[in-house]
């Protein structure tokens, strides 16, 4: 108990240390859009009901919906913004508790302690324990579903089979990828000792599917969004290799750490799988399927149907990987050798964690493709506060990419009541439609507007505003009409040293040619430029 307490205390410290060091990034801002204050503010400005806006936002976000309901309820009491990260800390700690219980059910206490140590300091899980997204929460419910399933097979009580259905529903509502775990759980029934549970498993799965039919209205739109407009590229075998590197050492390891760490982790993993298979063929086979089959299915679906292979969504399968690593270490003869093995794993994880807290990520020319949207943390709050202090009546806030759009959108919602003039009427998005990505068009919900433009309209700068009659409008704001004394242009890059996206570069060129720039501020790849009319 002392060892468990010390491990959990260390885990909690690591999860709250530097929790608010960085500002919310694009995905976290998307979470913040579902917080109570921001959702009510956006609904008020748009002239629509809060519930209809929440539903519209859910349909336009390809993640499971239950997390956003949790965010809304949590934010009513505890607030929005960076405080939403505490929700991830809570569920990450709960995940460790369930993971230990699952480990202790299947293995010895020593294996359970090793597994708990590995996951407690794992950089991948630390990353998402400090991010206001659904991944830590989804991991908890996926582990809880597996634990309850193991208990149902072990004790065969009606209570556990009912709980299996409930936890399956919750897990899938937090991450659609948990559906793969539900399907693969049936693999245990191929073994003779579990065949008598086929009927109960089937009824539990049917009950889960019937309940999930209630989500079909949202789910169909989300699937359509992913299939037709999602930004993910098809995965390569190199991408799959990086999944295991990220499972092992997160995003912040150096090239040398990855080269040393992956063989070490795989060596312990392989020995653990071998040892477990020798002692319990049925359980070892099922848990190996829990780990490998979902990743294989996700890869195949991404190649043949729609790009859905993304490392952070696969986090719910990674605890099984750590469990086999712990089993491999425990199977080594000699306590001192085991101690050296677990110390080696801890040192490798700690080295990556040091880089994480220093804001360092693995450097590679194709990092965006390998990490699939995981970008360095950054700060921009001082830039937004500077703009907010300098804002005056007659100013326009313009954005040129979806990251800066979401950043400014939230800023307007939070601040519009604090200014004497209505910020919502002086906020817009600038774009050359021909240079926008399908994901951007879908996210901004401007497909119908630009679809009606002639070809020459696609090649010209278009201005979109968002807070009129609950819908997006195009061309209402005229930049050169002299209606605005000053224009604040907010733009960004996904990576600080990367070039601007095509639309951003073109918008910035247009502003430089048509207006006079009087100030410019930049931090971590985010730019705020102030322009005035050339005649002034």
CA-closest candidate to residue 26, choices 368, 301, 380, 317:
380
- State how far the Cα of 272 lies from the Cα of 283, in Å rounded to an integer: 13
Hey, where are the domains in the chain? 24-371, 381-533
Contacts of 263 (CB under 8 A, 6+ apart): none
How confident is the model at residue 72, as a pLDDT?
Answer: 95
> pLDDT tens, 55-98?
888 887 777 788 999 999 999 999 999 999 999 999 999 999 99
Mean pLDDT of 137-150: 96
Q: What is the mean pLDDT of the chain?
A: 91
Decide if 368 contacts 232 (C-beta within 8 A). no
- State how far the Cα of 463 lies from the Cα of 425, in Å rounded to an integer: 13
**CB-neighbour burial class of residue 437 (10 A; exposed 0-12, middle 13-18, buried 19+):** middle
Among 86-100, 291-305, 488-502, the range with the most confident prediction by mean pLDDT is 86-100
How confident is the model at residue 478, as a pLDDT?
Answer: 84
CA-closest candidate to residue 15, choices 140, 120, 144, 138:
120
Residue holding tokens 């060596």? Answer: 267
How confident is the model at residue 470, as a pLDDT?
Answer: 60
DSSP H helical segments within 364-463, as ranges? 367-371, 381-390, 402-415, 438-444, 447-451, 455-458
Mean pLDDT of 230-249: 90
- State how far the Cα of 378 lies from the Cα of 366, in Å rounded to an integer: 20
DSSP H helical segments within 280-311, as ranges? 281-304
337-363: burial string, b at 16+ Cβ within 10 Å, e else: ebeebbebbeebbebbbebbeeeebbe
> pLDDT tens, 260-289?
999 999 999 999 999 999 998 888 988 999
Decide if 197 contacts 209 (C-beta within 8 A). no
- Per DSSP, 82 falls in state G
Decide if 54 contacts 71 (C-beta within 8 A). no
How confident is the model at residue 125, as a pLDDT?
Answer: 97
Single pTM value for the model:
0.93
């Amino acid at each position: 108990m002392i060892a468990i307490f010390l491990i959990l205390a260390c885990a909690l410290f690591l999860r709250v240390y530097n929790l608010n060091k960085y500002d919310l990034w694009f995905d976290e801002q998307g979470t913040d859009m579902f917080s109570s204050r921001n959702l009510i503010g956006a609904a008020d400005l748009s002239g629509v009901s809060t519930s209809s806006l929440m539903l519209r936002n859910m349909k336009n976000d390809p993640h499971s919906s239950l997390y956003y309901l949790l965010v809304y309820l949590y934010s009513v009491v505890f607030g929005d913004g960076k405080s939403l990260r505490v929700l991830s800390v809570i569920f990450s700690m709960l995940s460790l508790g369930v993971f230990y219980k699952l480990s202790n059910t299947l293995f010895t206490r020593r294996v359970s302690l090793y597994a708990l140590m590995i996951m407690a300091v794992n950089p991948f899980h630390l990353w998402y324990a400090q991010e206001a997204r659904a991944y830590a929460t989804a991991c908890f419910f996926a582990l809880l579903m597996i634990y309850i399933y193991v208990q149902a097979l072990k004790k065969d009580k009606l209570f556990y089979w009912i709980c299996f259905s409930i936890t399956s529903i919750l897990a899938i509502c937090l991450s659609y990828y948990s559906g793969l775990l539900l399907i693969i759980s049936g693999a245990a029934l191929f073994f003779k000792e579990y065949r008598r549970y086929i009927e109960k498993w089937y009824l539990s799965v049917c009950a889960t599917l019937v309940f999930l039919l209630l989500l079909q209205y949202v789910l169909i739109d989300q699937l359509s969004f992913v299939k037709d407009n999602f930004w993910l590229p098809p995965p390569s075998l190199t991408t799959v290799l990086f999944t295991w590197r990220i499972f092992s050492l997160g995003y912040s390891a150096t090239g040398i750490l990855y080269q040393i760490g992956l063989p070490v982790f795989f060596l312990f993993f392989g020995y653990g799988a071998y040892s477990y298979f020798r002692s319990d063929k049925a359980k070892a086979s099922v848990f190996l399927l829990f780990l490998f089959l979902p990743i294989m299915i996700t890869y195949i679906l991404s190649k043949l149907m729609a790009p859905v292979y993304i490392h952070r969504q696969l986090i719910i399968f990674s605890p099984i990987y750590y469990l086999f690593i712990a089993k491999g270490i425990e199977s080594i003869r000699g306590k001192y050798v085991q101690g050296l093995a677990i110390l080696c794993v801890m040192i490798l994880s700690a080295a990556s964690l040091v880089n994480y807290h220093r804001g360092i990520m693995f450097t590679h020319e194709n990092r965006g493709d390998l990490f699939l949207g995981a970008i360095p943390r950054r700060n921009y709050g001082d830039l937004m506060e500077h703009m907010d202090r300098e804002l005056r009546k007659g100013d326009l806030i313009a954005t040129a990419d979806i990251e800066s759009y979401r950043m400014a959108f939230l800023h307007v919602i939070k601040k519009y009541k604090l200014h004497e003039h209505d910020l919502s009427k002086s906020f817009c998005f600038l774009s050359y439609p021909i240079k926008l990505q399908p994901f951007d068009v879908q996210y901004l919900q401007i497909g119908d507007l630009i679809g009606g433009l002639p070809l020459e309209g696609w090649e010209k700068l278009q201005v979109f505003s968002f807070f009129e009659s609950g819908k997006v409008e195009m061309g209402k704001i005229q930049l050169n009409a002299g209606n605005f004394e000053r224009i604040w242009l907010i733009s960004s890059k996904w990576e600080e040293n990367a070039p601007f996206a095509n639309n951003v570069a073109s918008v910035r060129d247009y502003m430089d040619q048509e207006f006079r720039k009087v100030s410019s501020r930049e931090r971590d790849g985010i730019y705020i430029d102030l322009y005035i009319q050339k005649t002034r």
